[in-house]
Structure formats: C-alpha cells, structure tokens
Chain A
Amino acid sequence: DAKTTQPNSMESNEEEPVHLPCNHSTISGTDYIHWYRQLPSQGPEYVIHGLTSNVNNRMASLAIAEDRKSSTLILHRATLRDAAVYYCILRDGYGGSQGNLIFGKGTKLSVKP
C-alpha cells in the first residue's frame, strides 16, 4: 500500500467545520482512500472511504482531489466527541485485497469548547 502524509496535530473549535488533509502522491489507480479514527482508550473506528468521487456518510465527508494525490476528511460540525487521532490509509482494491491496515502517525485532532 502506498504511503500517506498527514499533519501531526490540528485544533478546532466546537461546532465548527474541520478539514483534515492527507497527501498520497504515489497513489495507484486501484487504491481506495480509507479513513479511520481512534478515540482515547478505544479501538480504531472506520469513518469513510472513497476512490475518485467525493463521498458522504453520517459521520463525515471525503473530498478527493481530481488527480487523487490528496484528499480531505471533513467533519461538518466538530463536537468534543470527535477529539481523536485520524488516520488516512490507502487500501488496494484490486482483487479483493484483504491484507492488514498500515497505520501511520495520523493527525491528533483537539476540539475546544
């Protein structure tokens, strides 16, 4: 799986939108962009994934650049419960790949009341 680069930390105010960037300049055509987050003292939690088009679900939105070399996870209204480490991970979708996730250091998001 190709490598991703994320800022070490970000801060946000409660009820404001948060844009978490991820660079993946060596992404291949079959790589899906996945996001997970890990709240303090909990296991990681799947957030969202996409290939080329922007994606929305109840937790977040994923905006993918046209050249796919970067993406942004968008939390529309941050809450205190969104304080977590967010991981951007590329997953090869070719042939139903089932291998392990490769976690980097992620972005630690702090949310101020």
Chain B
Amino acid sequence: NAGVMQNPRHLVRRRGQEARLRCSPMKGHSHVYWYRQLPEEGLKFMVYLQKENIIDESGMPKERFSAEFPKEGPSILRIQQVVRGDSAAYFCASSPWTSGTGGEQYFGPGTRLTVT
C-alpha cells in the first residue's frame, strides 16, 4: 500500500506566479489535510477536506490560497500570485474515517516551495 504521495517535491516560482501542489492520499483514505511549515517554525494546519467538500479551512490565508479534493484525482493546494513569504514546506496528510481514537494521520514527504 503506497503511502501519501506529493508532487512536485521541490517547486521554484517567481513572485506573482501560481503554485499548484498535488497530494494523493493513501488508498482507502477519504480525508486530506494540508499543513505548512515555515523555515525554523512548527507545522501549522491549513485546511481539511473530504471528497468534494472543504470541512475546515480555518488555517488557510483568506486571499490567494485555495484547496480542492475532487471526486477523481489528487487534492490540489493552489497559491496564486506567490510572494516570498509563501516559501515553506507544504505537507499533506491523509486518514481513513475512524471512530473513537482521534484518528492517526499519515503524512507525505512534502513539497518545498521556494519563491524567488
């Protein structure tokens, strides 16, 4: 069973360009989470999605950022008009639906975005 896959692993964008980050969850997992880790800082939650639904986007910046998890295909985190402050590692995690244990999450290797 393949783990969570993210691509690209490294992405370089110039200021003002768009960045698209992809995440394929583990087989059988219907929940996807995106986290961001700024340099020398901890992981911060951004958004939680299920197929075709955004469940919680309380950690997402209000502008320029959007996320989707379509019925078919990977989850996409999209950053429009990137700025230098968007340079970070973006991690995707997935989980199956489980009850009673608070749910383990399985993380991908991350996409390291550099904005020049």
Residues of A within 8 A of B (CB): 31-32, 34, 38, 42-46, 49, 51, 90-93, 95-106
Contact A91 B109 (CB under 8 A): no
B107 engages A99 (CB within 8 Å) = no
- Do B43 and A98 touch (CB < 8 A)? no
- Nearest Cβ on chain B to A55's Cβ, whole angstroms: 11
CA A96 to CA B97, docked complex, whole Å:
8
Kindly list chain B residues whose C-beta atoms are within 8 Å of the C-beta of A31.
102
Choose one: A42, A90, A93, A101; the contact of B105 (CB below 8 Å).
A101
Say yes or no for B69: interface residue by CB 8 A criterion.
Answer: no
Task: A34-B102, A97-B103, A103-B43 given; name 18 further pairs at CB < 8 Å.
Answer: A31-B102, A43-B109, A44-B43, A44-B93, A93-B99, A93-B101, A95-B99, A96-B99, A96-B103, A98-B31, A98-B103, A100-B48, A100-B59, A101-B43, A101-B93, A101-B105, A103-B35, A104-B42
How would you classify the secondary structure of chain A's contact residues: helix, strand, loop or mixed? loop
B4, closest chain A residue (CB): A43
Give the distance in Å from the alpha carbon of A103 to the alpha carbon of B42 in the complex: 7
Does B110 contact A49, Cβ atoms closer than 8 Å? Answer: no
* B43 adjacent to A93 (CB under 8 Å): no
